[in-house]
Amino acid sequence: MSSNEAVYIDEVIDRAIKLCDNLPPHYQNFRAVMEECKDRLSHGVLRLAVMGMFKRGKSSFINTLLGMDILPTSVIPVTSIPTTITYGKTLRCIIRFYNKKPDLVVQESAGRISLCLMEHVAEENNPQNRLCVSEAVVECPNSFLENGTVLIDTPGFGSTYIHNTKTTLDLLTQCDAVLFLLSADPPFTQTEVEFLKEVKKAIPRIFFILNKIDLLTVDELEKIDAFLKGVLSKNLDFPVDTNIFHISAKIGQTLKNLPENNPAWRLSGISSIKTGIIDFMVREKYFTLSQAISDRFKGAVSDALARLDVDYKELAAPVDEARKEYEWIIHHSGSIQKKIDRERGMIDVELKAFSDFVDKTIDTQKGDLQQKAATALQTVLAGVMLRKSSLAHTVHAAFEQHASALFDHLFLQITDVVNKPLNKAILLHINEFVKLHEEIKKSAPSASISVKKIEALCDDIEIHSDPLWSIEGVAVAFQQIKLPYCGIFASDKTRRKRYQECFTMAITEIINRNIIRLSLHVKELINISYKEFKRGLDSGFDELMAAMGIVMEEKKKIIDNFELEIKDRLAEIENRKNAFKKITESM
């Protein structure tokens, strides 16, 4: 990558950092990553993480590489806190803490530094980081580190300490390349394969180092080397000619007092590692560093974009929610209005049905009423003198009493029959009103609508026999009767029969006329009851729709106020999102 491209990346990072200005505190993590990328790019710092399963000899390897016993080693898993080894003019160790405890600094003595690290980063002395160590840094005056290389000793994965594996995986985003240690006991495990899959996703450059070759013969080393390359190629898609460094940290430990140009160093393989890494630093450092920084920077930009999306949605959520509620209320209002119209229409249908029901009910009683009237007439004629001059008046008075009693009974019977379905029909309307009221209360909890007032309408709906209603036309009908002449020799039986035929015609007319009158009167009573009920129900329906209207107005005001309040903030977030997207597209 050319220097012009480097400047371009630097400018892009500056633009991204500028976009983080005036953003809430939760964006500072993204800004910190961007600033770290800028700093690493400007200083050329290459972070090499030393990774591997527990007991692969990572700490021993780093000690041998540096030529001094700084990092603690043990027969059990040691490292639980990553240790960063960077260049410094003097040897010293810095332990930093999460709980605002002052930094612990140990200087110049490798032995004391090793003991300090053992106390603070070793799992056995600091289980699950109970000491709240945030960072362990060793500054070392070593030529290998002087060119900007930083080594990171990571916790071994695959042990019973599952949190160590997580800690190591979390480090991947902070590293540029990895020195991955394997060993001959065994040479490769499925756990290592699965872990390497995660490493490969995040790290552009991985060096493979086979440790503990002092345990192998030459033939065994060749077989294991071929086996490892086969696994890397077949299971992880690495090139078949992937280079694997062969070392023995144990042998290297015995040579630490010898100068680096001593031929004995070649036996440990450490010199080949240094040569390989130095060669990498010369040929590929900037490319790998730029790629790693670019990936990390893209990740920070992507995270910032995702967070802006979240903030945008959270800021717009009340408006979106209010708008959904408003649209739901509009839709629901139309649905409720249709139900109300249906209820109102049902009342007209029910009135027609009750009219037919009254006619049918009275019609079924008509024959029985005629029969009872005829029987009453026979009874009257049997108990009076058959004097032609006064007979019509006498029968009229007696029959009118009988007929009134018959119609009063029929009136009571009809009201009793009608009131049952009438009450049921009205109760259905009230129940529907209650349901609509409950629906509206979901949208308008504050709406004050009296359901009891509507329920009370049922109390006055029943019809009753009317004491002011009486049969009519009896006198007129009897006045029009012209009794036939029977002669002085006609028997009482003959006279009674002929007179009864005349009276029966009048009585039939009286019954038919008053049945029609009673039917009309009962229908009128039903209409009056329904009219009063409908007036009260309509009033309740109007209140329901008025409540819906008020809620709609309130929701619309809330939406307008929300939109006015957050409009500029949403626009600002959208502008930053577009700016971050342009940065992403430009890389």
- Predicted pLDDT at 91: 93
How do the domains of the chain map onto residue ranges? 44-283, 340-565
Residue 285 has pLDDT above 80, yes or no: no
DSSP string of 400-427, one letter each residue:
HHHHHHHHHHHHHHHHHHHHHHHHHHHH
Average pLDDT of the chain to the nearest whole number: 83
- Predicted pLDDT at 125: 86
Sign of torsion over alpha carbons 518, 523, 527, 529: positive
pLDDT digits (tens, 9 = 90+) for 207-260: 999 988 888 888 999 999 999 999 999 999 999 999 999 988 888 888 877 777
Residue 75 has pLDDT above 50, yes or no: no
Place 136 in a pLDDT band, splitting at 50, 70 and 90: very high
CATH number corresponding to 44-283:
3.40.50.300
Residue 446 has pLDDT above 70, yes or no: no
Residue 547 has pLDDT above 70, yes or no: yes
- Predicted pLDDT at 139: 93
Type of residue at 16: A
- Predicted pLDDT at 7: 43
User: What is the C-alpha to C-alpha distance for residues 562 and 318, in angstroms, rounded to an integer?
Assistant: 8
Of 423, 403, 373, 434, which Cα lies nearest the Cα of 518? 403
- Predicted pLDDT at 399: 81
How many helices (H) and strands (E) are present in the chain, helices listed first? 15, 9
- Predicted pLDDT at 507: 83
Segment 309-331 shows an average pLDDT of 85
Angle at CA of residue 22, ends 17 and 28, nearest 5°: 55
For residue 207, what are the β-bridge partners? 179
Place 124 in a pLDDT band, splitting at 50, 70 and 90: confident
Place 283 in a pLDDT band, splitting at 50, 70 and 90: low
- Predicted pLDDT at 6: 43
- Predicted pLDDT at 482: 77
For residue 370, what are the β-bridge partners? none
* Coil vs helix vs strand at 160: coil
- Predicted pLDDT at 1: 40
User: What is the C-alpha to C-alpha distance for residues 386 and 375, in angstroms, rounded to an integer?
Assistant: 18
Segment 325-349 shows an average pLDDT of 86
pLDDT digits (tens, 9 = 90+) for 373-410: 888 888 877 766 666 556 777 777 888 888 888 889 88
- Predicted pLDDT at 447: 62
Instruction: At 53, give phi and psi (nearest 5°).
Output: -65, 160
- Predicted pLDDT at 497: 78
Place 487 in a pLDDT band, splitting at 50, 70 and 90: low
- Predicted pLDDT at 489: 65
- Predicted pLDDT at 255: 80
User: What is the C-alpha to C-alpha distance for residues 113 and 107, in angstroms, rounded to an integer?
Assistant: 7
- Predicted pLDDT at 162: 60
Segment 187-203 shows an average pLDDT of 87
Q: How many CB atoms lie within 10 A of CB 334?
A: 11
User: What is the C-alpha to C-alpha distance for residues 445 and 447, in angstroms, rounded to an integer?
Assistant: 6
User: What is the C-alpha to C-alpha distance for residues 204 and 483, in angstroms, rounded to an integer?
Assistant: 129
Residue 527 has pLDDT above 60, yes or no: yes
Residue 160 has pLDDT above 60, yes or no: no
Segment 66-90 shows an average pLDDT of 79
- Predicted pLDDT at 335: 86
Residue 2 has pLDDT above 60, yes or no: no
Q: How many CB atoms lie within 10 A of CB 452?
A: 6
- Predicted pLDDT at 448: 66
> In percent, how much of the chain has pLDDT > 70?
90
Residue 279 has pLDDT above 80, yes or no: no
Segment 437-442 shows an average pLDDT of 80
- Predicted pLDDT at 85: 93
Angle at CA of residue 439, ends 438 and 442, nearest 5°: 90
pLDDT digits (tens, 9 = 90+) for 557-575: 888 888 888 888 888 989 9
- Find which of 76-90, 251-265, 473-487, 541-555 is predicted with most confidence, using mean pLDDT: 541-555
DSSP string of 323-337, one letter each residue:
HHHHHHHHHHHHHHH
- Predicted pLDDT at 5: 44
Residue 277 has pLDDT above 80, yes or no: no
Segment 474-481 shows an average pLDDT of 78
pLDDT digits (tens, 9 = 90+) for 355-372: 999 999 888 888 888 888
Burial group, residue 570, by CB count within 10 angstroms (0-12, 13-18, 19+): middle
> In percent, how much of the chain has pLDDT > 90?
16
